[in-house]
């Protein structure tokens, strides 16, 4: 049966990088896989078309699809659009309505780009970390959340960190399952020394591990110490699981160990469907719509292409296809093909978005 893939290219460089992903999907379709691709609007382009950043009809398609692949949304053109219908609202609605509670952010160092890292080459060569961030709970959503007027010239700002057992259980389960198809190691990060939610987090992760995943190696780290270890000796980690706030920061830190924003993919997963076992999933590059380079053919399509590789791995049980695609990217980089964002001060002529995509398809074909 065909895999249903909903492509929402979005705004700015979104359609440019997605154009290259479509070539890659086409290659897999010509080589034994079966993706039925549907395309629709999200973000500013959707607002222009029908006044909403994501329409109900698009949401229906997203809910039915086996996976959603998103480019990027937003741009200066929509800066004055009302808050509820701004382009980013489309992204938030997708995440919320699909209940995507697990955000996966890999930090993988491609050998050819090791000198782009802020750390020494030997610290990042071969680096391959996956940060699993809880995305729908914690301090960004907990109540009360307000600024209170205390009436004495003072105000009090309140944010509340809230986690229930089931939220920690399901994110820990995702982390353990992912570890099983990687290096089988999970490090859980919280601050149980100063936060009650950290105590529950630690204890639930322990219980889930004991009950269902005792074959996976587990250790715990306080999140601040974990941050230090990430920049001191990053290769000690395989899968890191942490809450929404710590995950937001730690995943950005880890990402910068490996180079350009144009290289970073992500996945957001929901709960497994009761009937099929398949998780709702949204795959997207970490970068935005890059209005400064949009329309110029300069964007690096690799972040979006690697997001599709994640879809192959996590939505379509096609780990070998994902490996093959990642190897093609690695090979093209090793050959010295570089979009402008991957060119250091030493210079060199940049490849265009289309040239980079073509080189990756050629490498897939094995005749690069
Ligand atoms: P951005 O990620 O779009 O760009 C930051 C810088 O990185 C720019 O100089 C850009 O040219 C460069 N860059 C980004 N992706 C690149 C790629 N694939 N290849 C080469 N260079 C790349 O972030 P910025 O400028 O803060 O935001 C621009 C717009 O994108 C805003 O409207 C923002 O709201 C939106 N945005 C959307 C996101 C999403 O759709 N998930 C995420 C972040 C921002
Ligand atoms: Mg962030």
- Number of structural domains, the chain? 2
Complex-level ipTM beyond the 0.85 threshold: yes
Domain-embedded: residue 123: no
pTM of the model: 0.94
**280 and 231 in a common domain:** no
What values do phi and psi take at 338, rounded to 5? -140, 130
**Cβ contacts of residue 285 below 8 Å, gap of 6+?**
17, 71, 72, 262, 264, 265, 266, 303, 304, 306, 307
* Ligand 2 mean position, distance from CA 209 (Å): 28
302-314 vs 319-334: helix axis angle to the nearest 10?
Answer: 160
**49 and 165 in a common domain:** no
* Ligand 1 mean position, distance from CA 298 (Å): 13
Q: Is 82 exposed, middle or buried (0-12, 13-18, 19+ CB in 10 A)?
A: exposed
The two structure tokens encoding residue 169: 């259980």
Counting every residue written for the chain, the total comes to: 368
CATH number, domain at 43?
A: 3.40.718.10
**250 and 134 in a common domain:** yes
**166 and 57 in a common domain:** no
User: What are the 10-residue block averages of pLDDT along the chain, 368 residues in total?
Assistant: 95 98 98 97 97 96 96 96 91 92 96 88 94 95 95 97 98 97 97 98 98 98 97 97 96 87 95 87 97 97 98 94 96 95 83 98 86
Domain-embedded: residue 121: no
Q: Rounded to an integer, what is the distance from CA 134 to the centroid of its chain?
A: 12
Domain that holds residue 84: 1-106+262-368
User: Is residue 368 in contact with ligand 1, taking CB distance under 6 Å?
Assistant: no
**276 and 236 in a common domain:** no
**297 and 237 in a common domain:** no
| Owner of token pair 């030997």 | 122
Q: Which atom of ligand 1 is nearest to the CA of 291?
A: 28
Q: Is the separation of the CB atoms in 241 and 189 below 8 Å?
A: yes
Residue that terminates a domain, selected from 219, 236, 256 = 256
User: Is residue 290 in contact with ligand 1, taking CB distance under 6 Å?
Assistant: yes
**321 and 357 in a common domain:** yes
Residue that terminates a domain, selected from 256, 288, 305 = 256
**Model confidence pLDDT, tens digit, residues 307-338:** 999 999 999 999 999 999 999 999 999 999 99
* Three-class secondary structure assignment of 133-161: EECCCHHHCCCCCEEEECCCCCEEEECCC
Q: Name residue 102's beta-bridge partners.
A: 134, 269
User: Is residue 337 in contact with ligand 1, taking CB distance under 6 Å?
Assistant: no
Domain-embedded: residue 18: yes
**Model confidence pLDDT, tens digit, residues 14-55:** 999 999 999 999 999 999 999 999 999 999 999 999 999 999
């Amino acid at each position: 049966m065909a895999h249903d893939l909903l492509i929402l290219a979005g705004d700015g460089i979104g359609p440019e990088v997605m154009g290259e992903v479509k070539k890659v999907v086409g290659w897999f379709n010509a080589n034994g896989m079966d993706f039925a691709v549907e395309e629709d609007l999200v973000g500013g382009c959707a607002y222009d078309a029908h006044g909403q950043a994501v329409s109900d009809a698009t949401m229906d398609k997203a809910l039915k699809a086996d996976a959603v692949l998103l480019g990027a949304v937003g741009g200066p053109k929509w800066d004055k659009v009302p808050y509820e219908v701004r382009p980013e609202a489309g992204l938030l609605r997708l995440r919320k309505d699909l209940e995507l509670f697990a955000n996966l952010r890999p930090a993988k160092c491609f050998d050819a780009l090791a000198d782009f890292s802020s750390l020494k080459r030997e610290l990042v060569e071969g680096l391959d970390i996956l940060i699993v961030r809880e995305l729908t709970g914690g301090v960004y959503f907990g109540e009360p959340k307000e600024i209170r007027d205390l009436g004495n010239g003072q105000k009090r700002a309140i944010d509340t960190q809230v986690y229930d057992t089931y939220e920690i259980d399901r994110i820990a389960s995702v982390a353990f399952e992912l570890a099983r198809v990687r290096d089988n190691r999970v490090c859980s990060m919280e601050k149980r020394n100063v936060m009650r939610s950290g105590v529950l987090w630690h204890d639930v992760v322990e219980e889930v591990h004991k009950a269902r995943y005792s074959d996976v190696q587990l250790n715990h780290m306080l999140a601040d110490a974990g941050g230090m270890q990430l920049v001191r000796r990053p290769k000690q980690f395989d899968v890191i699981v942490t809450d929404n706030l710590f995950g937001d920061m730690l995943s950005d830190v880890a990402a910068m160990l490996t180079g350009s924003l144009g290289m970073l993919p992500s996945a957001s997963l929901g709960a497994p469907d009761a009937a099929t076992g398949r998780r709702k999933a949204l795959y997207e590059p970490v970068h935005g719509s890059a209005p400064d380079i949009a329309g110029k053919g300069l964007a690096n399509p690799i972040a979006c292409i690697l997001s599709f590789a994640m879809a192959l791995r996590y939505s379509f049980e096609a780990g070998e296809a994902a490996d093959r695609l990642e190897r093609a990217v690695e090979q093209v980089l090793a050959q010295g093909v570089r979009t402008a964002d991957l060119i250091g001060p030493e210079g060199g002529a940049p490849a265009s978005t289309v040239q980079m995509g073509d080189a990756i398809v050629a490498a897939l074909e094995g005749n690069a």
